[in-house]
Amino acid sequence: MRMENALFNWLQIHVASKARPDDRAAKKTADFFYEMLVEDHHLQDVEAEADDTTYTVRYTLNGETETRRYPREVVEQLLRDIESEPRYNQ
């Protein structure tokens, strides 16, 4: 998987996992993508923060700090999808 795709996938499930702390599947999936970022793509210090409109992901690659920004609405779509599915909210 391309690094950009793995990073976005991690961010989406990371946000869902934080919003749903009892959702073990979300946590496990977030850990899987984080592990992929570290082991396959050699990223370090991956962290995300949000403001009113954007999620910002910062990470270190080859000693350089890099930043990616994503629209908040797009990132949170997975969380909305999970929460709108009745079988995940029992």
Radius of gyration of the chain (CA): 13
Outline where DSSP puts E strands in the chain: 44-50, 54-61, 64-71
- pTM value surpassing 0.85: yes
Check pLDDT > 90 for residue 2: yes
Residue of 89 and 37 predicted with greater confidence: 37
Residue pLDDT, tens place only, 15-25: 999 999 999 99
Q: How far is CA 82 from the centre of its chain?
A: 14
Residue pLDDT, tens place only, 55-76: 999 999 999 999 999 999 999 9
Q: Which two tokens stand for residue 6?
A: 């793995």
Query: End-to-end distance of the chain based on CA atoms, in angstroms?
Result: 33
